[in-house]
């Protein structure tokens, strides 16, 4: 039970981080541009990751050469996320921008589960998941309007 509670807390912490990062990215993007903001964020993230990696003894970083091309290029998704935030935040506000991101994440997650992409366990789309997407879209609409 404690492990489940801790896992939920970690997941919520990630959501809080995205929620805080969005408005900061929007403000920074207004001052230095979308790509400038993305560059600053990714460099600062690389520095923090490097420090944490060093503190953890390097984990298994020596195995990086065995990664697939899409794994090595996955940082590009962070750039896409940042550019979408630069576009949506000033026009629609933080709540709407984060709502759209969450809807996109959940729909993509459902597709990844359905087809088992990237080695995840297959979890087929069923009626409950379709209903959840429907309510998610309704909630998103209510948030955006």
Per residue in 2-17, pLDDT tens? 899 898 888 889 888 8
Number of H helices, E strands in the chain: 6, 0
Quick one: pLDDT at residue 140? 83
Residues 16-41: tens digit of each pLDDT? 888 788 788 878 888 998 889 889 99
Quick one: pLDDT at residue 145? 79
Range of the domain at 48: 2-144
CB 26 within 8 A of CB 94: yes
Of residues 85, 110, 71, 77, the one with CA closest to residue 20: 85
Quick one: pLDDT at residue 97? 83
CB 79 within 8 A of CB 87: no
CB 41 within 8 A of CB 82: yes
Q: Indicate if the pLDDT at residue 1 is higher than 90.
A: no
DSSP state of 67: S
CB 42 within 8 A of CB 79: yes
CB 140 within 8 A of CB 100: yes
43: left (phi over 0), alpha (psi -120 to 50) or beta: alpha
Quick one: pLDDT at residue 49? 94
Backbone angles phi, psi at 95, to 5 degrees: -60, -45
Residues 90-132: tens digit of each pLDDT? 888 888 888 888 888 888 999 999 999 988 999 999 999 999 9
Q: Indicate if the pLDDT at residue 62 is higher than 80.
A: yes
Domain tally, the chain: 1
- In whole angstroms, give the CA distance from residue 81 to residue 19: 13
């Amino acid at each position: 039970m404690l492990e489940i509670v801790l896992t939920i807390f970690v997941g919520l912490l990630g959501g809080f981080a995205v929620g805080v990062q969005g408005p900061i990215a929007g403000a920074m993007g207004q001052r230095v541009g979308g790509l400038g903001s993305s560059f600053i964020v990714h460099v600062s993230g690389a520095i923090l990751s490097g420090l944490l990696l060093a503190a953890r003894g390097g984990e298994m970083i020596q195995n990086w050469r065995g990664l697939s091309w899409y794994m090595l290029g996955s940082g590009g998704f962070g750039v896409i996320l940042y550019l979408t935030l630069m576009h949506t935040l000033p026009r629609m506000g933080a709540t709407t921008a984060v709502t759209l991101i969450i809807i996109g994440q959940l729909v993509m997650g459902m597709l990844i589960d359905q087809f088992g992409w990237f080695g995840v366990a297959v979890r087929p789309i069923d009626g409950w998941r379709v209903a959840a997407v429907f309510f998610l879209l309704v909630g998103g609409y209510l948030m955006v309007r």
